[in-house]
Amino acid sequence: MTAPLTLDADVLVLGGGPAGTWAALGAAATGARVVLADKGWCGTSGAAAAGGNNLWYLPPTGPARDRAVGHREAAGGHLTDRRWMFRVLDETWQRVADLADWGYPFPVDDTGVQRRGSLQGPEYLRLMRRRVRRAGVRILDHCPALELVTDGAGQVVGAAGRSRHDGWREWRTSAGAVVLATGGCAFLSGALGLNVDTGDGHLMAAEVGARLSGMEFSAAYALAPAFGAQTKGLMMQFATYLDEDDREIDVGDPLAGRDVLARHVLAGRRISARLDRAPAQLRAAARLAQPNYFLPLDKAGIDPFTTAYPIRFVLEGTVRGTGGLHLVDDDCATGVPGLYAAGDAATREFVTGAVSGGGSHNAAWAIASGSWAGAAAGRHARRRRPSGRGLPAGRAGLRPTGAATARHPADIVRAVQEQVMPLDRNYFRTAEGLQDALSVLDGLWYEASTHLAGAGRDALTARQAAAMVAHARWMYRAALARPESRGLHRRDDRPGREPWWSRRLLVHGLDEVRLTVLPPSPSAAPARPGLSLSGGQR
């Protein structure tokens, strides 16, 4: 048996997308020795690397910031935090200036001024990888993390995983602090770039006691060509929607008409889109800004500006949704000593509330939270160093409590997808539907925690399956506990918004999922005692 690869670092960053690379740079700037482990190849894997992203990017002075923050407060169901929003805008402004100094090829306008309001994923992540390497960070490509390691007293002191390119050899890294930047969970729905987003970091964090927030705001679906995986939604503002008889569907605002389209799909009707509302002078620019949206259409011989093409709903879960690990302070700490979270692995309620952060707010959040978490992890590591080998914390999918069974992880993944992907289960929610889904998911969790395990590559697939089961249970427990409709949380049986519920809902636990409702104080990031609820698996 090949001996594990063992490494030592001050800070270990898990995830190599924007949040992870900014975290690595933030930690390295404190003088820390940093290791970054990515499930894919740092610079090409994940949602951001697959396309372009707008940025929530506004100048530090002037009325535009106040207007933007006020608009998001209202749109986000008053679950945002104004102080955090301004912090994110300030940090993003500074870090984008760094990108310009490092040579990112921002386009320029007719006066020669750079347009810094968007980033192209391939160029952006290629530059970030180069900067991370230049900062002295050791990158472990194709090395998915499977579990955290603690010192037995609650301190996170590293992580362990497998190396794809080394015969699935085990790797272990001890560290003074760990930053989770592992992304959200899209349940292997097939959306472009989201094959690595299976909620692994959330499961690892929950196993050491971390809590999650905003998990009910997870029903983020995108519209994609029926024969493609591209879920970028910017072009849909120019869409005319048609039913299977080529009759126009009245959706009102094209960007806010998803509910109407979803009802058509639920009724068994096919829908299509034509981008004929796009002004002629913008069409060439749109192709340059979103080239991978047009690629499958071009291959099919379809000009989407003149010809309708079939579309489908694709679940993006907590990648485009809001939920993630709860943060207890300005440093993006999780409340578990030595563990920090950034990007889509963390909740985005502070900046986007109950609605999707899309590309813009989420992209700014990844930059800001990654920078803060990395710097804080570096400072923490200087104060405390791990001693001894540490205790592995992974359970479901790695160390089941009973005898391992022959059931393949893919079977469990399909069973989870049957509960989270259908529109009448997750998009339009009801108490009855949520309870029915939870009865299945609780059984799947019992199976995963009691019997699911694997060796080599199957260790990764088993762990991913367990993470998706856990993720779905947190989502639906929170959705059942919020008796209203707000943002991405749509309750068909509770269509109105309840003023009392302008507050955040935390979930934690694995075998038994517990919930805490926080006081309605959006200015207070740390959790405070509130109403407790619970739900078991049987």
Distance CA 24, CA 361 (A): 21
Q: Which residues contact 111 (CB under 8 A, 6 or more apart)?
A: none
258 assigned to active site = yes
Name which of 324, 328, 358, 330 is nearest 343 in CA terms: 324
Specify the long-range contacts of residues 240-247, CB closer than 8 Å, at least 24 apart: 240/273, 240/274, 240/275, 240/276, 240/277, 240/308, 241/271, 241/272, 241/273, 242/271, 242/272, 242/273, 242/274, 242/308, 243/269, 243/270, 243/271, 244/269, 244/270, 244/271, 246/308
In this structure, how many other beta carbons lie within 10 angstroms of the beta carbon of residue 251?
A: 17
Distance CA 502, CA 487 (A): 11
Distances (CA, A) of 379 to 34, 85, 87, 176, 304: 12, 24, 20, 9, 51
User: Helix and strand tally (H, E) in the chain?
Assistant: 14, 21
Q: Which residues contact 25 (CB under 8 A, 6 or more apart)?
A: 128, 131, 132, 135, 137, 371, 374
Distance CA 342, CA 19 (A): 6
Helix, strand, or coil here: 353? coil
The vertex-494 CA angle with 490 and 496, nearest 5°, equals 85
CB-based contact 523:81 (threshold 8 Å): yes
- Phi first, then psi: what are they for 37, rounded to 5°? -115, 125
Q: Facing residues of 265 across strands?
A: none
Please state the separation of Cα 391 from the chain's center in Å. Answer: 27
Helix, strand, or coil here: 488? coil
Under DSSP, the state recorded for 342 is -
Helix (H) or strand (E) holding 288: helix 280-289
Helix, strand, or coil here: 76? coil
- Phi first, then psi: what are they for 73, rounded to 5°? -60, -45
Catalytic residue among 95, 258, 274, 463: 258
Q: What is the rounded (10 degree) CA torsion for 393, 399, 401, 405?
A: 160
- Phi first, then psi: what are they for 155, rounded to 5°? -85, 130
Ranges of beta strands (E only) in 186-248 are 212-213, 221-225, 240-242
Q: Which residue numbers are catalytic?
A: 258
